[in-house]
């Protein structure tokens, strides 16, 4: 299979899993549907704007079927190496804690962006900060990007949108 539309080199071995004492980060698949849907539906207000101020995800009326379509889309893009979506799960796989997305970008000075979230019930325990620092280190050590951006975290969405495109 050719990966000519991939945004990582063809010979790059995609990391499929990262685990620490807090959680496991692994490829998001349709098999995560029920637990992913629960994480999203119980965190709708908290998740508003995670993909930027113009994003309407997640809609209050998100259906299980629509979530299935989203997960299948992410899974296919992962297989095609055009973007990478990971589920953040408890070590016993009992619960989806959040998600991590790695996307290509056409913004000057950046090769990729990373967006992540944790369900609202894990925020007060500091899990969002732990996830961010873990993912940032993982991307730096295991991924082939010179510069990865974190809009909504290290740069405001407003400033991100103002950046020039290649």
Query: How do the domains of the chain map onto residue ranges?
Result: 17-162
Q: Which of 166, 142, 139, 141 is nearest to 150 (CA)?
A: 139
Contacts 24+ apart (CB under 8 A), 124-132: 127/22, 127/23, 127/97, 127/98, 128/98, 130/22, 131/23, 131/88, 131/97, 131/98, 131/100
* 17-162: CATH topology: Aminopeptidase (3.40.630)
Contacts 24+ apart (CB under 8 A), 8-17: 8/81, 8/143, 8/144, 9/144, 12/144, 14/78, 14/81, 14/84, 15/138, 15/142, 15/143
- CA–CA separation, 107 vs 118, rounded Å? 26
Query: Could you tell me if 100 and 131 are in contact, meaning their C-beta atoms sit under 8 angstroms apart?
Result: yes
Identify the segments of the chain with pLDDT beneath 50. 1-3
Query: Could you tell me if 88 and 118 are in contact, meaning their C-beta atoms sit under 8 angstroms apart?
Result: yes
- CA–CA separation, 107 vs 76, rounded Å? 24
User: What's the confidence (pLDDT) of residue 73?
Assistant: 98
User: What's the confidence (pLDDT) of residue 7?
Assistant: 86
Query: Could you tell me if 45 and 34 are in contact, meaning their C-beta atoms sit under 8 angstroms apart?
Result: no
Could you give the residue ranges of the DSSP H alpha helices within the chain? 33-41, 44-47, 64-80, 127-142, 157-162
The 3-state DSSP class for residue 70 equals helix
User: What's the confidence (pLDDT) of residue 2?
Assistant: 45
């Amino acid at each position: 299979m050719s990966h000519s539309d991939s945004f990582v080199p063809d010979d790059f071995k995609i990391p499929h899993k990262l685990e620490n004492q807090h959680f496991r980060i692994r490829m998001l698949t349709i098999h995560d549907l029920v637990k992913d849907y629960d994480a999203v539906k119980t965190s709708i207000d908290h998740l508003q704007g995670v993909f930027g101020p113009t994003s309407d995800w997640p809609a209050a009326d998100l259906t299980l079927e629509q979530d299935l379509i989203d997960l299948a889309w992410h899974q296919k893009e992962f297989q095609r190496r055009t973007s990478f979506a990971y589920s953040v799960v408890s070590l016993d796989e009992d619960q989806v804690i959040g998600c991590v997305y790695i996307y290509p970008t056409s913004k000057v000075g950046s090769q990729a962006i990373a967006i992540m979230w944790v369900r609202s019930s894990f925020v007060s325990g500091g899990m969002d900060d732990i996830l961010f620092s873990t993912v940032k280190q993982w991307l730096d050590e295991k991924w082939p990007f010179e510069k990865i951006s974190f809009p909504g975290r290290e740069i405001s969405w407003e400033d991100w949108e103002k950046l020039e495109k290649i």
